[in-house]
Amino acid sequence: MSANPEPPKAPAPPPPPAKDTFTVIFDGRPVEVPKNLNLIDAAKLAGVEIPHFCYHPRLSVVGQCRMCLVEIEGMPKIQAACTTPLKDGLSVKTTTEKVRSSRAATMEFLLINHPLDCPICDQAGECTLQDNSFGYGQQLSEYDEAKRQYPTFDRTPIGPNVIADMTRCIQCTRCIRFCQEIAGTSELTFLDRGGRTLVWTHDGGPLANEWSACAADVCPVGALTVRQFRFRSRVWYLQKTPSICPGCNIGCNNSIEARENVVYRFLPRLNPDVNDYWLCDHGRFLSESLNLRDVSKATWREAGAVRDLPVPAAVDRIAAEIRGAIETKGAASIFFLGSAHLSNEENFLLRKLADHLACPNRDVVVDRGKPRKIKSQKGWITGEEAAPNFRGAREMGLTPGRGGYGLEAVLSGKSAPDVVIAADAEFGAAADDPAAVAALRKAKFLAVAARRSNALTRAADVVLPAASLAEKDGTFTNLQGRAQKFERAFLSKPPVRAHWELLLLLAAALGWGDPDWTPAELRARIAEEVPGYGDRPESELDGGRLLKKGDFAWKGAL
């Protein structure tokens, strides 16, 4: 009997691609979630809120606050969600009576020693303890013992930028972990133990790392607050506007927090690719500088006297000088200076205007700054330029054209333009350097747009009042080449206008462009004309998500 030859084995089907998600069941509802998530974040993705204090997505998991209690099928005891490893088929219950009462218990324990000084606490309104108390606490407390106090550790500076009120501390250790794990400076520690546990520094030394205010950011209560912001505004009066830090070329995503045309503070916006949850103190505390202004009218200097005049008249005056120079000496007698502090849209407009006039003399410069470091989710980023948008300004074409010259030639005296248009009076340190200003002043006509007076504005023939970062829209391109949008927090007070508006006025006066263009339309033009800017995803432009102090963005943000 001849055995049938075995049919050739079909090649084994390739194993199904390993699933990179787990199915987790939240209150009976199965949800696919990425494997590497913490259960709290997985729940967040599924739209399920698990309250917590000590858990922070970028800090090690300590499981100490015992707020994120849930029931896990198969486990008799209540479990902390943050320390429960994710696995396929995990069934999590977040709405049972046991969960409710356990969380209420933790809230009660947290509140027995927490001062009820919310009326004078800066954290009020963005306090996780308040929020969780509202959502998960109970109205009455049977605790009527004296509350714990840390008498010499209250209302005390714990560093140059952070004030400690340790009586409010809930011992979540986020600040300790921030200093250990992110800053790497380990200033803070637990002292003593049990109900006497105190967070403090060695020998009362300063919490003074480059990101010290982030320790206050991660504080879910009012134990650590930012000195500069203390008692300045109730946070619920502040409007958050997505912006970009002007401090260096990293382009940290922040929000401008403002009220009635005053900037009160910057907070980080969550962007894992750039600044993650963090801001450096240098950048953060530039917020106050946005409120500074001593140029609020257009001025015209003639025969040694300085006169106010309406902005359109001042712009006409500049246009007339430009036309005159072109007529007598040609466009090559004009020098356009952009700025690494101005947006891509503005620098683009300036370059287009120069192109329109066939003027090849244009430039942008940047000062080297003290290196600034920030820890993105992928690692450290170092910014070495003292302005946010040098790369973008260059990419908009602000380099000398064929046969043209740049700032260096002007400052060295090699080139002597008749008309100098400096789009930003704060384009760099040179603007306050007497020798540099003298070199620029050699031109017959010098016009600048400015918010704050400096040597350059004092030397200029025409000064236009220009908006701050908070008063306009635009994009900056950071050192990674990422074009990131900042939005207007509030309108400038007339006659102050955004640099791009002033440039559009000037362009119109010179017979180019459309004064109705908006930054968005300019961005569309940039996308058409500037290599590399054509297919920027909207998400990159929009950047990070808004955060509040003490907590982090809710839906979808991890």
Partner 1 sequence: MSHTRYRVQEAGAPRPFPPEAMARIEKILKRYPTKQAALLPVLWVAQETWGWVSKESAEEVARLLGLPVSHVDGVLTFYTMYNLRPVGKHLLQFCTSISCHLAGAGRLVARCEKRLGIGLEETTADGKFTLLEVECIAGCDRAPSMMINDAYHEPMDEKKLDDLLDRLGRES
Partner 2 sequence: MDPVLTARIAKPGSRGIDGYVADGGYGAWKKVLSEGWTPERLTEEVKKSGLRGRGGAGFPTGVKWGFIPKDTKGKPVYLLCNADESEPGTFKDRLLMEKDPHQVVEGVILSAYAIKCRDAYIYIRGEFYDGARILEAAVAEAYAQGFLGEKILGSAYSLDLTVHRGAGAYICGEETGLIESLEGKRGQPRIKPPFPAVSGVFGAPTIVNNVETLACVVHIVNRGAEWFAKIGRNEKNTGPKLYCLSGQVNRPGVYEAALGLQLKDLIFGDAYGGGMKDGRKVKAVIPGGASANMLTAAEIEDCPLDFDGVAAKGSMLGSAAIIVMNEDTCIVDAARNLSKFFSHESCGQCTPCREGTPWLHKVLDRIEEGAGRPEDIALLERICNQMANGMTICVFADAAIAGPLSSVKKFADEYRHHVENKRCLVGPRAEAAAVTV
200 binds, among partner 1, partner 2, none (CB under 5 to 8 A by kind): partner 1
Closest distance of CB 174 from partner 2, Å: 13
Q: How many residues bind partner 2 (CB under 8 A)?
A: 36
Binds partner 2 (CB under 8 A): choice among 42, 90, 170, 411: 170
Rank residues 196 and 555 by Cβ distance to partner 2 and give the closer one.
Answer: 196
Nearer to partner 2, 192 or 327 (CB): 192
- Residue 529: exposed, middle, or buried by beta-carbon count in 10 A (0-12, 13-18, 19+)? middle
Selected from 36, 60, 87, 191, the binder of partner 1 by CB under 8 A is 191
Task: CB nearer to partner 1: give 183 or 298.
Answer: 183
**Binding site partner of 524, from partner 1, partner 2, none, Cβ cut-off 5-8 A by kind:** none
Q: How far is the CB of 504 from partner 2 (least distance, A)?
A: 58
506 scored as a contact of partner 2 (CB under 8 A): no
Cβ closest to partner 1, residue 62 vs residue 198:
198
Strand pairing partners for 466? 497
Rounded Cα distance between 486 and 243, Å, is 4
Smallest distance from partner 1 to CB 164, Å: 13
Residue 21 gets the label, from left (phi > 0), alpha (psi -120 to 50) or beta, of: beta
How far apart (Å, rounded) are the C-alpha atoms in residues 184 and 208?
Answer: 12
Nearest to 336 by CA among 345, 326, 325, 347: 347
Using the rule CB under 8 A, which residue among 192, 514, 516, 538 binds partner 1?
Answer: 192
User: What single DSSP character describes residue 357?
Assistant: T
Contact criterion met (CB below 8 Å) for 213 and 279:
yes
Half-sphere exposure of 380 (CA within 13 A, CB side): 10
Q: Which does 113 bind (CB under 5 to 8 A by kind): partner 1, partner 2, none?
A: partner 2
Alpha-carbon distance of 502 to 463, in angstroms, equals 11
Nearer to partner 1 among residue 187 and residue 418 (C-beta): 187
**Which one of residues 22, 26, 200, 533 is an interface residue with partner 1 (CB under 8 A)?**
200
Binding residue for partner 2, selected from 79, 94, 212, 253, defined by CB under 8 A: 79
**Site for partner 1 (CB under 8 A): which residue of 134, 143, 190, 237?**
190
Q: Is 203 in the site for partner 1 (CB under 8 A)?
A: yes
Q: What is the DSSP string of 394-461?
A: HHTT-S--TT---HHHHHTTS---SEEEES-TTSSGGGG-HHHHHHHHTSSEEEEEESS--HHHHH-S
**Contact predicate 423/349, CB 8 Å:** no
- Is residue 167 within 8 A of residue 149, CB to CB? The reply is yes
Is 67 a binding residue for partner 2 by CB under 8 A? The answer is yes
97 binds partner 2 (CB under 8 A): no
**189 lies in the binding site for partner 1 (CB under 8 A):** yes
Q: Which does 43 bind (CB under 5 to 8 A by kind): partner 2, partner 1, none?
A: none
Among all chains, which residue has been given the structure tokens 């007076």?
A: 453
* Gap between the Cα atoms of 156 and 201, Å rounded: 12
Distance in Å, CB of 113 to partner 1, minimum: 14
| Burial 43-65, CB ≥16 within 10 A → b, else e | bbbbebebbbbbbbbbbebbebb
Q: Minimum distance between the CB of residue 142 and partner 2, rounded to whole angstroms?
A: 5
Please state at what angle helix 311-329 crosses helix 499-509, rounded to 10 degrees: 50
Q: How far is the CB of 120 from partner 1 (least distance, A)?
A: 25
Residue 457 structure tokens? 């504005």
Does the footprint of partner 1 cover residue 193 (CB under 8 A)?
Answer: yes
Residue among 57, 218, 545 nearest 553 (CA): 545
Binding at 182: pick from partner 2, partner 1, none (beta carbon under 5-8 Å per type): none
Which one of 19, 29, 87, 190 is in contact with partner 2 (CB under 8 A)?
Answer: 190
With beta carbons less than 8 A apart as the criterion, state whether 170 and 65 touch: yes
Among 41, 122, 126, 187, binds partner 1 (CB under 8 A): 187
Count of residues interacting with partner 1 (CB under 8 A): 17
Among partner 1, partner 2, none, residue 188 binds (CB under 5-8 Å by kind) = partner 1
Q: What is the 3-state secondary structure (H, E, C) of 251-311?
A: CCEEEEEEECCEEEEEEECEECCCCECCCCHHHHCCHHHHHCCCCCCEEEEECCEEEEECH
* Site string (116-155) toward partner 1, x via CB under 8 A: -------------------------------------x--
DSSP, res 6: P
Touching partner 1, residues 154-183 (CB under 8 A): 180
Asked if 345 is part of the footprint of partner 1 (rule: CB under 8 A), the reply reads: no
Q: Which residues bind partner 1 (CB under 8 A)?
A: 153, 180, 186-193, 196, 198, 200-204
Q: Which residues bind partner 2 (CB under 8 A)?
A: 61-67, 69, 77-80, 83, 85, 102, 105-106, 108-110, 112-113, 142-143, 145, 148, 170-171, 173, 190, 192-197
